[in-house]
A and B are shown apart, each in its own frame.
Chain A
Amino acid sequence: MRKGWILLVLAYIMLHSCMNETELKKSVFIYDPENTELPAYSEWGYNTFGAYYDREIFVSNNKLVPAKILVSDTAFSFILNGQKSSIDYYSNDPEMLITFTISGFTPQQYTDLALLNDSIIDLSQPACHVFISIDSVNCTAAILNGELNFKRVQLLKVDNQQVEAILSGYFDFRAIIKNKPITVSEGRFDVGIGVDNFYVQ
Chain B
Amino acid sequence: MKVRIILIAFLFNYCFLLSFAQEGRLKYLGIEGGATFIESGISNKDYIRKDMSSYYMSYSSGSISSWSFKSFAGIKFEILSLNDRIGLLGGIRYSFINSSIGKNDYLSDNTDYFYWLYKVDGVNTEYLKINEINQKASYIGIPVELRFYTAKRPHIFQLYLKLGAEINYLLTSKTEVVFNNPAMRVYEDEIILMLDEPDQINGAIYGGVGFKVGKDQKPSVSAEVCMPYIPFSSKTYGIVEPIFGGGFQINFQIPIKSKVQ
Contacts and interface: CB of A to CB of B under 8 A. Distances in A.
A46 B50 contact: yes
Interface string B123-144: 1111111000000000000000
A155 B123 contact: yes
A7 interface: no
Contacts of B51: 23, 26, 28
A88 B58 CA distance: 7
Contacts of A89: 57-59
A157 interface: yes
A27 B180 contact: no
B118 to A, nearest CB: 9
A16 interface: yes
Contacts of B260: none
Nearest to A16: B181
Contacts of A160: 126, 184
Residue of A88, A156, A166 with most chain B CB atoms under a 10 A cut-off: A156
A156 B59 contact: no
Interface string A5-23: 0000000110010000011
Nearest to B127: A158
B181 A28 contact: no
A153 interface: yes
A118 to B, nearest CB: 9
B150 interface: no
A29 B50 CA distance: 10
A103 interface: no
A158 B59 contact: no
Interface in A138-187: 153-160, 166
Nearest to B179: A159
A13 B183 contact: yes
A159 B129 contact: yes
Interface residues of B, number: 27
Contacts of A26: 51-52
Contacts of B183: 13, 16, 159
A106 interface: no
A28 B54 CA distance: 11
Interface in B151-180: 179-180
B124 to A, nearest CB: 5
A44 B184 contact: no
A31 B43 CA distance: 22
B181 A159 contact: yes
Contacts of A16: 180-181, 183
A29 B127 contact: no
Contacts of A195: none
A159 B128 CA distance: 5
A29 B56 CA distance: 12
B233 interface: no
Interface of B: 49-52, 57-61, 110-111, 113, 115, 120, 123-129, 179-184
Given A28-B50, A156-B127, 18 more contacts: A23-B51, A24-B115, A28-B49, A29-B52, A30-B50, A31-B59, A44-B50, A46-B50, A87-B59, A89-B57, A154-B120, A154-B123, A157-B126, A157-B127, A158-B115, A159-B127, A159-B180, A159-B181
19 contacts: A16-B180, A16-B181, A23-B110, A26-B52, A28-B49, A28-B51, A28-B52, A30-B61, A31-B59, A87-B59, A114-B123, A153-B123, A156-B127, A157-B124, A157-B125, A157-B126, A158-B115, A158-B126, A158-B128
